[in-house]
Amino acid sequence: MASGAPNGKVYIHELVAIRDQNRQRYMEHVAVNWCPVGRVERNMLSFGIWGTVGSTGTWPEVVLMWELDGWHGLAANFERELTNPKLQDPSLERWWGEAVALRRGGHDRVVVPASYSPTAEQVVAATKRPAVYYHEVIQVVPGQAPTYLALLREHWLPVAERLGLELVGAFRTAMVNDSEVICVWAIQTWDGWADIEIAYESDPDVARWRLHTQGLVRDWRNTLMCAAPQSGLTTGKIP
CATH code, 152: 3.30.70.100
Would you say residue 238 lies in a domain?
Answer: no
**46-71 average pLDDT score:** 98
Would you say residue 51 lies in a domain?
Answer: yes
Would you say residue 179 lies in a domain?
Answer: yes
Per-residue pLDDT for 87 more than 80? Answer: no
Would you say residue 62 lies in a domain?
Answer: yes
Would you say residue 239 lies in a domain?
Answer: no
Which band of pLDDT confidence, cut at 50, 70 and 90, is reported for residue 31? very high
Check residues 74 and 7 and name the one with the higher pLDDT: 74
Give me the amino acid identity at 144: Q
196 three-class SS:
helix
Would you say residue 140 lies in a domain?
Answer: yes
Cα(69)–Cα(37) distance, rounded to whole angstroms?
A: 16
116 three-class SS:
coil
Preceding amide of 146 cis, omega within 30: no
* Dihedral angle of Cα 60, 105, 133, 23, to the nearest 10 degrees: 40
Which band of pLDDT confidence, cut at 50, 70 and 90, is reported for residue 81? confident
Would you say residue 92 lies in a domain?
Answer: yes
Q: What is residue 93's predicted lDDT score, i.e. its pLDDT?
A: 84
Q: Where are the beta strands (DSSP E) in 86-216?
A: 103-113, 132-140, 166-173, 180-187
Would you say residue 1 lies in a domain?
Answer: no
Number of domains in the chain: 1
- Residue 69 belongs to what domain range? 10-231
